[in-house]
Structure formats: C-alpha cells, structure tokens
Amino acid sequence: MQEYLKILGSVIPLFLLMAVGAVVRRRRLLNEQADRSLLDLAVHVLLPCLILDHLMANESLRQWGNLWWSPLLGFVVTSACIGVAAIAARWWGFSTGAQRRTFTLVGGIYNYGYIPVPLIDTLYGANALGVLFLYNLGTETAFWTVGFASLQGHKLFTDWRRTLTTPVRAILLGVSINLATYWAGIHLDGASLDATFWGWLVKIVLTTIHLVGLCSIPLAMLLIGATMADFWSKFRANHGIGVMGLAVAVRNVISPLGFILLAWLLPISTELKETLVVQAAMPAGVFTLLLSRHHGGDVPVALQIIFATSAAAIITLPLWIHFGMQVVGVR
C-alpha cells in the first residue's frame, strides 16, 4: 500500500498541472498565440537542457547493455504498439481510411516523454532517467518512421530525416559527452570539479543547464492541458463511446501487459526494467493530435482516443506501475 500511495502521489501532480493549463487557457491567461513560441522554447531549449543535465554524467549509460538495449527496445516496443493499434482498427472497421490510420497512430503512440520523466525521476532516480532518454531515442525513431508512415500511408523510411529532432540531437550529444569524459577520466561531479582549477567554469555551465531544464516539465504539462482545453467542445460534440472503449482496451489494458512481460522476461538492466514498467502505464500522446490535424488524420477520433486514455490513466496508471513493480521485482 505504501508503494502504491507513493506512485499515486507522483502521478496526481502531473494531472493537476494539466488541469491548471486548462484553467489558465479558459481564463485567457495563456492564449493560443503564445503556444507556438512556448512550444518551440520547450522543445528546442528546455527539454534539450533537461536531457543533457541527466545524460552527461550518467553512470548507467556507461554500460554497453543499456547503450544498445534501450534504443532498440524503444523502437521495437513502439512499433509493436502501433501494430496492435492497426490490428484493432481493422477489426473495428472504421468507415474511412483517415479514421483507421488516425487510430493506428494515436492509439499506438504513448506519452513517452513529459509524463514519464518526473515519474521515473521521483520513483527511481537519475540513473533510470538517463536510460529513459536513451530508450526514447528509439521511440522517436519509431514515431517519425513507422508512426508517420501509418498516418499518411507513405513508405516506412520516406520521412527518416524527421527523426533528427532537437531532443534526439541532445540525447546523442549527452551520451557522447558522457562516454568521452568517462574514457578521458574526467569526472563531472561537484567534488571532482572543485578539485580542478577549471572546474568552477564547468560548474557554471552545468548549473545553468540544470536550472533551464527544470522549467521543461511544468511548462510542457501546462501546454498539454491548454491544448486539451482547446478541443474540449469539439470532443463533446463528437462522442464515440465505442472508439473510446477500444482505445482504452488497446492503450490502457493490452499494451501494458506486453511491456511488463518484456521487462520480466528480457535479460536487461534494472533501470531499463523500471523504464518499461513506467512506459507501460502511459496514455496516448497528446502531440499525435497536432500531427493528425495537419497531416490528413481524423481529429474527432484522435480526440476521443486522447481524452479517453488520459481519463482512464488517472486510475490505471498507478495500478499498472504498482503491478509492474511487483512482477518485475523493482522498488
């Protein structure tokens, strides 16, 4: 019970932040004109700093198993989730190809970034968080290849250049700095830096990166809440109980079982098992709504999936994490 309450206490603030984002949107304290610049700030500055802050001196990323298992699993698991959603969409028999493709993308892509980051940091610490970011390297690749192709009907790697996003570049840079400093015998912890004449300058840079990165999650959660508030009226006008039930079954029930089974079976590190357990519980990713809106998807179907899986996740998220921790044997 104590573990469950700890997980629940880590989850609730994230949903409250989204609720605050919805409220400030309704009160026009955060208008739609500001969204684009704030989103660019979050994606191109704040999130990269958060990534670098947790990768540049991460001991878990000096283990070869984590270096290749993490991105591989991120790609394979995300692609498999898209495949499960595609099978469910065909079985359901949507009336249009756009609806089927939208369900495949939105139902298959989980919220692999902003919600898991504070959860893993709170539950498992910095080493696991570094593994999460490297796992997300594979997830981003699957998102922009398998996912984007499933939405638009393109060949698999037609849009592979889209994978080179700013966060992906930050992950590659952070891992490179981590390995280079390790092989060179340079330590980036405070005590080691204090022992060198140039350490004070490095500490200024690292502290700045840390402080900027701290802003990433709160701002992102506010923007997610504001975005969901924008589409609330359209969601209410396009009820689809069957589609929402199917989405919850795929995203909140079937997929988590697969994640936890992999974490239990595979010979992977504890940090990667922890990552899989948390990712198992995630609802559909909100960014897929914007992708569906601008690339030929069906917006009402995307809304139904996102709202239904997010609402269900308030209950299922802590339950799956608690269950996964018990099965896999992590604390």
State the sign of the Cα–Cα–Cα–Cα dihedral 256, 273, 330, 214: negative
| pLDDT one-digit tens code per residue, 88-146 | 999 998 888 888 999 999 999 998 888 898 889 888 888 899 999 999 999 988 988 88
Residue 157 pLDDT > 60, yes or no?
no
What integer pLDDT is reported at residue 121 of this predicted model? 87
Q: Span 3-19, mean pLDDT? A: 82
What integer pLDDT is reported at residue 238 of this predicted model? 55
Let me know: does 50 contact 56? Beta carbons within 8 Å.
Answer: no
What integer pLDDT is reported at residue 233 of this predicted model? 67
What domain range includes position 86?
Answer: 2-328
What integer pLDDT is reported at residue 52 of this predicted model? 93
Q: Span 207-226, mean pLDDT? A: 90
What integer pLDDT is reported at residue 4 of this predicted model? 73
Neighbouring C-beta atoms of residue 40, cutoff 10 Å: 11
What integer pLDDT is reported at residue 175 of this predicted model? 93
Q: List the single range of 83-97, 190-204, 260-274, 295-309 with lowest mean pLDDT.
A: 190-204
Which residue would you say has higher pLDDT here, 252 or 230? Answer: 252
What integer pLDDT is reported at residue 234 of this predicted model? 65
| pLDDT one-digit tens code per residue, 19-55 | 999 899 888 888 878 878 888 898 899 999 999 999 9
Number of independent structural domains in the chain: 1
Share of the chain above pLDDT 90, in %: 41
| CATH number of the CATH domain containing 232 | 1.20.1530.20
CA 328 remoteness from chain centre? 21
